[in-house]
Amino acid sequence: MADATVASDGTGAEPLDAVPSRARAFIASYAQNRGAVAGLVLVVLLILCAAFADVIAPHPPNLQYRDVTLAPPAWADGGSWRFPLGTDPVGRDMLSRLIHGTRLSLAIGLVSVAISLSLGVLLGLLAGFFRGLLDTVIMRAMDVMLALPSLLLAIAVVAILGPGLVNAMYAIAIVLLPHYVRLTRAAVIAESGRDYVTASRIAGAGNARLMFDTILPNCAAPLIVQATLGFSNAILDAAALGFLGLGAQPPTPEWGSMLASALEFIQRAPWVVTYPGLAILVTVLAFNLMGDGLRDALDPKLRR
Amino acid sequence: MLRFALRRLALVVPTFIGVTLIAFALIHFIPGDPVENLSGERGMDPARRARLLHEFGLDRPLPVQYADYVGHVLRGDLGASLTTHQPVLDEFLALFPATLELAFFAMVFAVVLGLPAGMLAAQKRNTLADYAVMGASLAGYSMPIFWWALLLILTFSVQLGWTPVSGRIAVEYDVPVVTGFMLVDTLRAGDFAAFRSAVSHLVLPAIVLGTIPLAVIARMTRSSMLEVLREDYIRAARAKGLSVMAVTIVHALRNALIPVITVIGLQVGLLLSGAILTETIFSWPGIGNWLIHGVQSRDYPVVQGGILLVAALVIGVNLVVDLLYGIVNPRIRHG
């Protein structure tokens, strides 16, 4: 980060764009990665889908057309463009439910990552900055959480809090937590010994200022990457919980629970199972592509 | 090495204590106490309730209850299931071979396909083969496996009729349980028709459970291989006139395998997460299925004991992987 301002010192020895700024290098590197760009485009589309779900969706997500249950997709025999992806067992429009499901999946990702990230960064900062007993206690607690398979930990939390969409978000936030704590701690320990931190301390900066203002911004890169990948984990785990009946409850148009509630119709109407799963796959894939691209672009050591 | 082993072992103790705390807390955080859950909808008169609370030891201070709990755990007593009234440990041990058999073949599938795919991608870097392997691996890594399982069932079981939809073996076969591993037991009994049935039941669940590990192993092998292929000794081996094949397999793979083996070891937690979903979908009678039933029927001793045992398993396997890694790579020991 120390070289970040080299380009703008204005000595005029070289034209500005000969020494690319960090941001420009980052954008250039990210743009080179076709997969990452595709991931970003998909994520933007998904966000638009979620934001304008009410406008885009041809039907209200929970409206039941009792006379057209299990209608096939438009291009199949007996399908019509009134329900482009067909209808579910109680006659709700699949496409509209999927579009509204985007909103839920992104919300689950956003909320669980936000909770997990803020708590994880705080704990990681405390552990890495103060070390000693506090560090030991925090890190042993994280070891315990990592000893439980992620889905099992989420299930345990849901068993305590009770099933539901909001509790699933908390459960996933808890599952993701150890990764942020470990990453932040490692980055803080690496940065703490640097001269700029010592300089800041000598200049009279207090602990809080050193932690949040001086050190934290320089630990951001791995956290951004992990947060992006956290989105995909959160969406996958939430869908799995929904599928097991422990996450979002019917009639919420959450993709995992949509899949579960249509299971018995899988032979007669494969589309009720195919499309929600495809939506999960595409969304998770988009965030994974973006996360990989960010990692390559932010971490020159890993750049190919 | 002994010091490294002891230090690593010492780290396991607090982790395990933490897991017992979580398992213990699980029962006490649950809304309503176990007695209330027993009484169901009808309710219970206060005198009987107090007597039951006393009987279960639930009226004692929490630290005493916890110490008592740990004492029981150390003696292998994890309580009894509320639905079957069987000891939780016995149920776990009876079902575990089914999960182990499934996980083992999932891992075999993942390694047998993942290693060559990763090597191919590294060797043919930036070609169509590389992109195909990496694309497939990314898709596999992003796969909601419960959906993947349904697609495979729909294609191979329902439409093509190649494999059964669920279970471990067709009902008409009655194989005496000796090891708990269906493939071993059917062979011991000399019943080849039963063996074939067991194999056909195993194929789809093993593929489903192995998909994410396969993706991870292919990716890891590729990047580890790319790193090794850059080394001087590889160039020297090529300069000596050895074929690409010989260099890749004899020289590069051996060194590229170290991080890959670690990754394989660390897949245990992931495998168990996956087993919960896979077993639920295929009605595979293993611990994942058992745990989900426990959660759904509010069988808290099963959930509590199951979490404890699974965590102990993960901790144990990670310990073994670390120790093995310490033996293979001396630098780790002195880290």
Tell me the per-residue pLDDT of A140-166, one tens digit each, with 9 for 90 and over. Answer: 999 888 888 888 889 888 888 888 899
Asked whether B91 and B290 are in contact (CB, 8 A), the reply is yes
Q: How far is CA B101 from CA A207, B237, B271, B283, in A?
A: 53, 40, 12, 15
The answer to whether A257 touches A248, Cβ cutoff 8 Å, is yes
DSSP class of residue A3 equals G
What's the mean pLDDT in A256-275?
87
What is residue A89's predicted lDDT score, i.e. its pLDDT? 85
Which range has highest mean pLDDT (A3-17, A179-193, B164-178)?
A: A179-193
Name the residue among A62, A81, A77 with its Cα closest to residue A261.
Answer: A62
Minimal-distance CA residue of chain A relative to B11: A140
pLDDT for B145 equals 93
Which residue shows structure tokens 């991931």? A39
> Pick the residue with more confidence: B226 or A1?
B226
What would the two tokens of residue B139 be? 């898709």
Residue pair A35/A43 in contact (Cβ under 8 Å)? The answer is no
Inform me whether the pLDDT recorded for B297 exceeds 90.
no
Identify which of A149, A273, A284 has the shortest CB distance to residue B150.
Answer: A273
A11-15, A222-226, A274-278, B153-157: range with lowest mean pLDDT: A11-15
Task: Return the residue of B nearest to A161 by Cα.
Answer: B30
Higher per-residue confidence, B251 vs B149: B149
Residues of B in contact with A152 (CB under 8 A): 272-273, 276, 291, 307, 310
Residue B188, pLDDT > 50, answer yes
Alpha carbon A116 to its chain's center? 11
Q: Report the range out of A74-78, B139-143, B162-166, B248-252 with the highest average pLDDT.
A: B139-143
- Least confident piece of the model among A270-284, B37-51, B100-114, B314-328: B37-51
Q: Give the pLDDT confidence score for residue B49 in this predicted structure.
A: 77
Q: Given a cut of 70, is residue B186 above it in pLDDT? A: yes
Query: What per-residue confidence (pLDDT) applies to A147?
Result: 84
Domains annotated for chain A, with CATH where assigned, are 95-303 (1.10.3720.10)
The whole-number pLDDT of residue A4 equals 42
CA distance A237 to chain B (A): 9
Specify the range with the lowest mean pLDDT, choosing from A7-11, A32-36, A151-155. Answer: A7-11
Residue B284 has a pLDDT of: 93
To the question of pTM greater than 0.90 for the whole model, the response is no
Q: What is the pLDDT of residue B192?
A: 87
pLDDT > 50? residue A7:
no
Measured over the CA atoms of residue B175, residue B177, residue B181 and residue B187, the dihedral's sign is negative
Rounded average pLDDT over A21-43: 87
Average per-residue pLDDT for chain A: 86
Contact indicator for A116, A173 with CB cutoff of 8 Å: yes
> What is the average pLDDT score of chain B?
86
Quote the pLDDT of residue A84. 86
- SS3 state at B106: helix
Per-residue pLDDT, averaged over B320-325, amounts to 80
Cα separation values, A126 from A119, A142, A188, A209, B35, Å: 11, 14, 9, 13, 41
Give residues with Cβ within 8 angstroms of B94, minimum separation 6: B180
pLDDT band at B118 (very low <50, low <70, confident <90, very high): very high
Residue A74: the pLDDT is 82
Size of interface A-B (CB pairs under 8 A): 127
Of the candidates A124, A127, A271, the one whose C-alpha atom is nearest the C-alpha of residue B151 is: A271
pLDDT recorded at residue A12: 44
Please report the pLDDT score of residue A18 as a whole number: 54
Q: Tokens 């990692």 — which residue?
A: A295
- Higher model confidence: residue A101 or residue B5? A101
Residue of A35, A151, A277 with shortest CB distance to B147: A277
Of residues B27, B30, B291, the one with CA closest to residue A161: B30
List CB contacts (< 8 A) between A245 and chain B.
296
Using an 8 Å CB-CB cutoff, list residues of chain B that contact chain A. Answer: 11, 14-15, 18-19, 21-22, 26, 29-31, 138-139, 141-144, 146-148, 150-151, 153-154, 158, 269-270, 272-274, 276-277, 280, 291-292, 295-296, 303, 307, 310-311, 314-315, 318
Q: Which residue out of B7, B138, B147 would a mutagenesis test of the A interface target, given it has the greatest number of A Cβ atoms within 10 Å?
A: B147
The larger pLDDT score, comparing residue B260 to residue A120, is at: A120
Q: Which residues of A touch B11 (CB under 8 A)?
A: 143
Both tokens assigned to A176:
């993701």
pLDDT-derived band at A304, boundaries 50, 70, 90: very low
> What pLDDT is stored for residue B31 in this prediction?
65
Contact A236, A105 (CB under 8 A): no
Give the torsion through C-alpha atoms of A61, A66, A70, A73, to 10 deg: -60
CA distance B186 to B4: 43
pLDDT of residue A5: 41
Residue A128: band (very low, low, confident or very high) from pLDDT cuts 50, 70, 90: very high
List, in sequence order, the alpha helices (H) in A193-254. Answer: 195-202, 207-209, 220-243
The pLDDT of residue A185 is 93
Query: How would you class B309 by CB atoms within 10 Å of its CB: exposed for 0-12, middle for 13-18, buried for 19 or more?
Result: buried
Q: Is a pLDDT exceeding 50 seen at residue B87? A: yes
